[in-house]
Chain A
Amino acid sequence: MAYATHGPPAWKMWLFTTDHKRIGILYMVTAFLFFILGGLAALTVRTELATAGPTIVRQSTFNELFSAHGMTMIFAWIIPVLVGGFGNYFLPLQIGAKDMSFPRLNALSYWIFLSACILLWFGFIIHEQAAVGWTGYVPLTENVGTPGVGTDLYLLAFHLIGLSSILGGINFLVTVVKERAPGVTIKNLSLFVWSQIITAVLIVLATPVVGTVMMMVFFDRNLGTHFFLPEGGGSPILYQHLFWFYSHPAVYVMILPAFGIVSEVIPRFSGNPIFGYTGMVLAIASIGILGFTVWAHHMFTTGIDPGVRAGFMFTTMMIGVPTGIKIFNWVGTMWGGRLRFTTAMLFAVGFVAMFTIGGIDGIYMASIPIDYQLQDTYWAVAHIHYVLFGGSVFGVFAGFYYWYPRMTGRMMNERLGKVHFWGTFIGFNLTFFFMHVLGLLGMPRRVYNYDPSLEFWNQFATVGAIMLGLVQLFFFYNAVASYYRGAPAPANPWDVRDSREWPVGARKPPRPRVPSAPSPAVAVASVEAVLAPPARPPGSA
């Protein structure tokens, strides 16, 4: 991708692009914008919860904000940044492909995703935002629950996001099958690529179901059908089954690419190759398969058949096994290595620790009797944030710090990065760890007012959330300022010897005024650096 001064103007190059790297950047920038929006929504919610009574917003606004927070963080931030962003940019590079198999479909997937995001937030403009949580359970989403236009916007946004995901998923799978460079086989695909493959399989199999379900509810609301309305014989519980048939695999869509990123980062900064490559691949694959068999654990308290329930408890706990294998292997990779604690590595190690806590939380909830106590309490909020923030988002940051030089040709500031990491780590734990306590004390999630005796722990969480929010400013400043003023990145800043995107062969310059390709001597030197056997273990500088 030569960013030459001749040729089409820049706006055209971005709006009409079908290049996988540009689309990846578009996805990432959009996702980070929605990360800010969703984060502001969360901060407002947390500030509201600082006191037991009404604090700063109305009840209806509160409901709209936590709903928008959930939808935005899942569908406009984590999935697009991990799959659309990093997946688009690095999957073709790592398999030696020129581009995706269907480049225009790739662009279509991005623009449809953006359209869906507009639908998702449009309600705030017309004061008709959906307030149905991110799960949109019936009958709340039916006309009897929320007759306004906001819920229609929610349903169609969800549907459209599903469409965008499906297009992307198909494209990823075909690309891996058809576009691999000679010599790239299933025996040497990187773990990041593996995680994207399994993610794409989950997307392709699960998303059509939720798209259909959203249309069914939409029909119920607007065409008088009774898909989920009991008075016509429909079953509201069926909605939950179909919804979680998608939405449980969707949590693996959110975490597997982060697994892939961490599996890239940890070996680089440990000086060891990944421990148990085959086991890692099998673990990702079995998480993907098991992920389709656990959905009803979200529904233990709905009164489904006890035998069925026990089966789902069993499969849910089974997921702990491959996940444990992965954690074990990351630790095995670090074992006895020469660890370099760059910001990317800090986030990756933080990921392993936080995700382990989140995973163990989940095992508690998988147990039916305990789930009866913890269902819909702050314990669930703590669990979901430990796996999705401490897991997925830490993974995003690890990948971002690690690949930033590859994407922009500049280094990020390490000192700011470390401030960002420690601030995020402490703020995150301050916010979410004591939600476990709140959950055990019985505080229900999604409430506007709560018992004044719980105020102490809630204020803890609010202070943590504000810290977590503020410290992200370091990140955004770092990411933007480094793009313009960061130190120029060498071709292989992390001394990576076994991945295809490093060293940068002939990279685009960060700004047009910089020559568009390195001198031949540099290119030759970097190729030689790849081909030469390492004189000493990578990382032992």
Chain B
Amino acid sequence: MSKSGAAPLPVWLRRLAPDGLRAYPMHAAAHEASAHEEVHDPAEHLSPWPLVISIGVLFLYFGIIFGGPVLGAGIILFLSALYGWITQDYVHWKKHPAPGHGVEGHILPGGRAERSRLANWVADLVAKPTAWWGIVLFLLTEIMLFGALFALYFVSKGQYAEFPPAGAPELPVLATLVNTIILVSSGATMHIGLIALRKDNRQGFLAMFAATIFLGLAFLYNQVTEYLDLFHEGFTLDSGVYGAAFFSLTGVHGAHVTAGLAGLVAVFGRGLAGQFDSKRHLGVEGVAIYWHFVDIVWIFLFLVIYVRVI
């Protein structure tokens, strides 16, 4: 091979890929940025909780399969490690007054003026807080989870002439409509509370979040009552694929409502303790996104399973 660098490419090759031999540009700034990786104090970044949570999960799973005290040990270990994790977060939160870290929304080179509107929109999205991105991507996985369960429902529906099958109990559509209104209005109260918080109206924030928690509990209560009624009529998890689909969709949703309520209670408790203001309330925003998601999923569930629009 010639010493003066690469041999020239054949013409046909060059035509196929005109940018073929152009190296992608690298920035010296990035090199300098990667040089600082070594300097932070390693001890600051230790945390026993990932390990302990995982041991808890391992015990929990062993307990699910084999039963016995290992199940209890797993649950206790998991919950206490979760508490440790959150506490560590809280300590960090108190130590570092500036909210989050993150870069400005650069994703393409150049300034705002020279970029397209689409590029600027993307840049604004990129500039959203790290936690926001984490939650949104997490919700994406949740959508796929519900997607799998909906797939089960629709495939079964397409497979059988009569779905729900004959003999399945009539679902209480009207009562569930009321319950739907309860859940949707809980989303509204929460949003009003969030807007109040953004305007530093902490009274309004706390009142509205209390209302949201109350409505959420009411929804869960009605859901449990409905389950008990259905059980009474002999409609359970093992009532064929329809029972499995119904209880898995509504049950998984119910679990999400419970988790959302736990988040709301945590945020409300921290609010009562005097935390959060218009400048610093990322946790509240996170719970709010999650609660809206739970709302929206329920509306789909209601339309598909109870009203049977499709």
Contact = CB atoms under 8 A, between A and B. Distances in A.
A335 B88 CA distance: 54
Interface stretch (B147-155, B227-235, B262-270, B301-309): B147-155
Contact of B38 (A179, A508, A536): A508
B3 A540 contact: yes
The binding surface of chain B is classed by DSSP as helix
Interface string B57-79: 11001101110000000000000
B68 to A, nearest CB: 13
B61 A98 contact: no
B241 interface: yes
Range for the number of chain A residues in contact with chain B: 35 or more
Nearest to B134: A174
Contact of B243 (A13, A96, A225, A271): A225
Given A98-B37, A206-B144, A223 B238 contact: yes
A7 B243 CA distance: 57
Contacts of A216: 152, 244, 248
Contact of A93 (B24, B37, B152): B37
Contact of B17 (A156, A187, A329): A329
B99 interface: no
Contacts of A271: 5-6
A489 to B, nearest CB: 16
Contact of A103 (B45, B126, B140): B45
A160 interface: yes
Nearest to B143: A208
B29 A498 contact: no
A188 B155 CA distance: 44
Contact of B28 (A107, A112, A211, A531): A531
A468 interface: no
B45 A187 contact: no
B236 to A, nearest CB: 8
Interface stretch (B48-56, B193-201, B290-298): B48-56
Contact of B24 (A118, A174, A213, A274): A274
B46 A540 contact: no
B237 A16 contact: no
A187 B9 CA distance: 24
B248 to A, nearest CB: 7
A134 B23 CA distance: 42
B23 A498 contact: yes
Contacts of A205: 140-141, 144
B87 to A, nearest CB: 12
B45 A540 contact: no
Nearest to B5: A537
Nearest to B40: A98
Contacts of A235: 155-156, 159, 241
A185 B107 contact: yes
Contacts of A517: 38
Given A107-B50, A540-B3, A160 B23 contact: no
A170 B135 CA distance: 9
A500 B148 CA distance: 40
Contact of A336 (B6, B28, B107, B134): B6
A204 interface: yes
A17 B17 contact: no
Nearest to B108: A185
Contacts of B142: 208
Nearest to A279: B17
A273 B5 contact: no
A273 to B, nearest CB: 4
A184 B30 contact: yes
Contacts of B34: 93, 96, 181, 500-501, 505
A480 B133 CA distance: 40
Contacts of A505: 31, 34-35, 37-38
Interface in A182-224: 182-188, 190, 204-209, 211-213, 216, 219, 223-224
Given A226-B244, A537-B6, A178 B42 contact: no
Contacts of A188: 24-27
Nearest to B8: A336
Name which of B9, B50, B107, B130 has the most chain A CB atoms within 10 A of its CB. B50
A381 B28 CA distance: 47
Name which of A98, A105, A207, A274 has the most chain B CB atoms within 10 A of its CB. A98
A371 interface: no
A144 interface: no
A408 B56 CA distance: 33
B244 A225 contact: yes
B144 to A, nearest CB: 4
B40 A107 contact: no
A388 interface: no
Contacts of A98: 36-37, 40
Contacts of B175: none
Contact of B109 (A177, A181, A185, A224): A185
B24 A115 contact: no
A530 interface: yes
Contacts of A19: 42, 45
B169 interface: no
A104 B5 contact: no
Nearest to B13: A332
A242 interface: yes
B91 interface: no
A145 interface: no
Contact of A209 (B64, B108, B144): B144
Contact of A183 (B29, B41, B42, B238): B29
A498 B47 CA distance: 35
Contact of A114 (B25, B54, B145): B54
B8 A233 contact: no
30 contacts: A1-B42, A2-B42, A16-B46, A102-B130, A102-B134, A104-B49, A111-B51, A115-B54, A179-B103, A181-B34, A183-B27, A184-B30, A187-B25, A187-B108, A188-B24, A188-B25, A209-B145, A226-B238, A232-B244, A233-B160, A238-B151, A274-B24, A276-B17, A277-B22, A278-B19, A332-B9, A335-B9, A505-B37, A506-B35, A527-B32
Given A93-B34, A177-B133, 17 more contacts: A16-B47, A17-B45, A178-B102, A178-B103, A178-B133, A183-B106, A188-B26, A206-B144, A207-B141, A208-B141, A208-B147, A209-B147, A225-B237, A232-B241, A274-B24, A275-B17, A531-B31
Interface of B: 1, 3, 5-9, 13, 17, 19-43, 45-51, 53-55, 57-58, 61-62, 64-66, 85, 88, 102-103, 106-109, 126, 130, 133-134, 137-138, 140-142, 144-145, 147-149, 151-152, 155-156, 159-160, 165, 237-244, 248
